[in-house]
Structure 1
Amino acid sequence: MAKILTITNQKGGVGKTTTCVNLAASLAATKKRVLMIDMDPQGNATMGSGVDKHHLKNSVYEVLTGDASIEESIISDSPAGYDLVGSNGDLTAAEVELLQMPRREFRMKMALATVKENYDFVLIDNPPSLNLLTVNALAASSGVIIPMQCEYYALEGISALIGTVNKINKRLNPSLKIEGILRTMFDPRMSLTKDVSNHLVEYFGDQVYRTVIPRNVRLAEAPSHGLPALMYDKNSRGSVAYLALAGELIRKTDLVSEQAEIQEQEG
């Protein structure tokens, strides 16, 4: 069964979409079965996966409103190497329509129930705000990956986000937890970056990924070519970093599974 992970931060410009696209591509490169879901009406993750958001037969909008099943909406031949449910501006209207629907917070969870057995990982990209789309993603997920820059306001912002995750855990999804905190756009030459990074590790310990994502020109250029960095320049520092992150995520997932099996046998 798939490990479903939401990639989110209420602050914009921290590398959410970059992380979602490049982590999905890196996991797929290790032969994992990956589905990426673009829950952002801007559709940047869709375009960054090499799929034209303006020519989607079905999108996340149709999935959430029930106009199409998720099976009918999955693009299984994306150039990026993973399966995709794309998004575009139509998704903006879904927020209003969802308000009138039963179990409005669980529409994505219900949709994924029919396909999650087909994947090892499902990654969900989100808009930089806490709205009904993000709540749907959080209600459907078992973990949250938080990309963040090591800058002055980051610690305050991450505290607010963790508070939101805890509320969702209590009210909608008791399985939801922080999967990991990812330091993005990392520049070790800046003393502020190192200070904030040290504070993160001090406060959050093992929840902070060992892998850091550097500032990298190739990561910034890749979306304009409709490709993950791994396919644009596999030897770039950004590509190597996301491959390392995928390895770290896989090892952590396997370890948790092994521990759960041991507990089940002992129980």
Structure 2
Amino acid sequence: MTYIIAVANQKGGVGKTTTSINLAASLAATKRRVLLVDLDAQGNATMGVGVDKSAVKLTARDVLLEKAKPADVILHLPEIGISLMPANGDMTEAEIKLRDVAVGDFALKAALAEVADQFDYILLDCPPALSKLTVNALVAADGVLIPMQCEYYALEGLTALMDTIGKIKRVINPKLEVEGLLRTMFDPRNNLANDVSAQLLEHFKEKVYRTIIPRNVRLAEAPSHGLSVMAYDAQSSGAKAYLALAGEVLRRHDGGQLRLSA
């Protein structure tokens, strides 16, 4: 059974793309078939896995606007072990045009249904806004993974996202659940980070992943090489953290046997 996870937070710079890429690569390392869908016009997930966003002829835009079939857009990346539906600045056109389509909120859901049986996990890297593209992701998803920094404004932004998730669950996608909250770029020496982390655990309890993603130079460097941190430096603390996150995700869905590839 395919499980679709939207990686979403309307706040920028919280590690959505880093999480999308490295969770995808970590799941692939456990021999799961993984598709990463880039829904952001910035195309950072596309560039971060070594694909030149300016050179791709077809993107998620073409799929959403029914100009191309998903199978014609998806790229297979053996270096990282995942497949990718790329994005670039053309996604802005999809954002605008989907507003004028009666069933525009269901465009991604319909497209992914065509290829879902080819993958165990599909990760949706959402733009940093509660936009039409993010709504498409939430309508298509089974769960929402929310990366967040433990900082002053984190909880305020989280409230707006939770409200949106609740509305979509009630009106459009009753199966949608919060997959989990992921603490990213965490520095345990920071008192505020520890205070916010404690508040998250108090309010969301088991919805907060045990895994914490640390601040890590290798995580920051890997995208410039077009690699996941697993491929760039598998022994780094960032790589180990995302592999641990993959283990948590798997335990929630299929018993969690890692089955690491050689």
TM class by smaller structure? over 0.9
The CA deviation at 1:78 is 5.2
- SS of the equivalent of 1:170 reads helix
Q: Which amino acid aligns with 1:67?
A: K
1:126 equivalent in alignment to 2:104:
no
- SS of the equivalent of 1:130 reads coil
- 2:144 & 2:12 partners in 1: Cα distance? 16
- What per-residue deviation string (whole Å, max 9, x for no partner) do you get for residues 109-136 of structure 1? 0001111111110000011001110010
The CA deviation at 1:229 is 0.7
The CA deviation at 1:79 is 3.0
Q: Which amino acid aligns with 2:209?
A: Y
Counterpart in 2 of 1:264? Answer: none
Q: Which amino acid aligns with 2:196?
A: V
- What per-residue deviation string (whole Å, max 9, x for no partner) do you get for residues 9-48 of structure 1? 0100000000000000000011000000000000000011
The CA deviation at 1:170 is 1.0
Is the CA contact 1:50–1:80 (under 8 Å) kept in the aligned structure 2? no
- SS of the equivalent of 1:68 reads coil
Percent identical pairs in the alignment equals 56
1:144 equivalent in alignment to 2:144:
yes
Q: Which amino acid aligns with 2:57?
A: K
- 2:110 & 2:94 partners in 1: Cα distance? 16
> In the comparison of the two structures, how many residue pairs are matched?
256
- What per-residue deviation string (whole Å, max 9, x for no partner) do you get for residues 45-91 of structure 1? 00111111111121101000100011111102353210100000011
Counterpart in 2 of 1:216? Answer: 216
Counterpart in 1 of 2:259? Answer: none
- 1:76 & 1:89 partners in 2: Cα distance? 21
TM-score (norm 1): 0.94
- SS of the equivalent of 2:88 reads coil
- SS of the equivalent of 2:128 reads coil
Is the CA contact 1:144–1:180 (under 8 Å) kept in the aligned structure 2? yes
Aligned alpha-carbon RMSD (Å)? 1.1
Instruction: Identify unmatched segments of 5+ residues in structure 2.
Output: 257-262
- 1:50 & 1:140 partners in 2: Cα distance? 26
TM-score (norm 2): 0.95
Counterpart in 1 of 2:4? Answer: 4
Instruction: Identify unmatched segments of 5+ residues in structure 1.
Output: 257-267
- SS of the equivalent of 1:122 reads strand
More displaced stretch, 60-69 vs 96-105: 96-105
Counterpart in 2 of 1:86? Answer: 86
More displaced stretch, 95-104 vs 81-90: 95-104
Equivalence map 1:106-125=2 (5 Å):
106-125=106-125
Counterpart in 1 of 2:46? Answer: 46
- 2:81 & 2:182 partners in 1: Cα distance? 23
1:184 equivalent in alignment to 2:184:
yes
1:97 equivalent in alignment to 2:97:
yes
